[in-house]
Amino acid sequence: MDCKEAPVAPPSVPYRGRIAPTPTGFLHLGHAATFGAAHARARAAGGEIVLRLEDIDPRRCLPLYAEAAMEDLRWLGLHWDGEPLWQSRRRERYLAAWRQLRDGGWIYPCTRSRKEVAEAAPLTVGAFDQEEPLFPAAWRTPVEAARAWETPAGVNWRFRVPDGEIVAFDDGLLGALSPRAGTDFGDFLVWNRDDVPAYELAVVVDDAGDGITEVVRGADLLLSTSRQLLLYRALGLGGAIPAFRHTPLIRDASGRRLAKRDAALALRAMREAGATPETIWEQIDRNGPLPGQTP
């Protein structure tokens, strides 16, 4: 489906949320907290929630982890509406979006690797205390060079941010936020050199195409919201922008946010150690109010 033709939910359409795991490992306690918040919001609103497996990277996403994620969600009591949705089956959607961005002069091919950017760019601590190396403006490729490419394969593709523009949004938990393009975040990836769409592009195309009315996700993705708002505008999807609600992160005893490498806090390991769904939710509650509930 061409992303320009993605359905746009008018205000009268009921709540529609999503649970969107990336099957690159087993789900952990932090995933349970965020997905539980999304599920609670949808059910409280009397709306729908869909399950979208963000399995777009064939090298890292494995069927084993996708099946395990669905099993763990069911075990937790988090049930979704309809059949699971798979990003790996939506390549034509993403290619249509890439072509639209290329033709509109929003993106450019980039031969610089992440390592080169990290070594050459200053590490800025901008909005939300999130560190990010700002892509050097001097490395930008002219718009004309982008239009010569028939396919995105072979190089990275970056979105040219409007330097100095404040890309503001209202967060359902944190209130009004005002990151500045070129200061708090720089030119970002929309397509990877191994011919896989980047997260920022895929999630915008899918949230618009799936009719999502609110995105509930972890606070580590706050800066992604401003990037994605720029993509909504560039793709002509302004009427499809969902509400955003970023939940607090679950952290380990040392204060680090959980990651899939934290095997001891994987839901599978906790189940094997005797945890029940009730004890999982109790443990999440001990980290503060269940994210997504009204404080």
Torsion angle (degrees, nearest 10) of CA 250, 256, 260, 263: -100
pLDDT at 8: 37
- Cα 248 → chain centroid: 15
Q: What is the chain's pLDDT, residue by residue, as a tens digit (295 residues)?
A: 333 333 334 445 689 999 999 999 999 988 999 999 999 999 999 999 999 999 999 999 999 999 999 999 999 999 999 999 999 999 999 999 999 999 999 999 999 887 888 888 766 655 565 667 889 888 999 888 888 899 999 999 999 999 999 999 999 999 999 999 998 899 999 999 999 999 999 999 999 999 999 999 999 899 899 999 999 999 999 999 999 999 988 866 555 555 555 555 789 999 999 999 999 998 888 764 444 444 3
The 3-class SS string of 161-197 reads CCCCCECCEEECCCEEECCEECCCECCEEEEECCCEE
Q: Which residue has the tokens 């070594």?
A: 119
Where do the domains of the chain lie, and which CATH numbers do they carry?
Answer: 12-89+250-295 (3.40.50.620), 91-213+221-242 (3.40.50.620)
Residue 43 CB neighbour total at 10 angstroms: 15
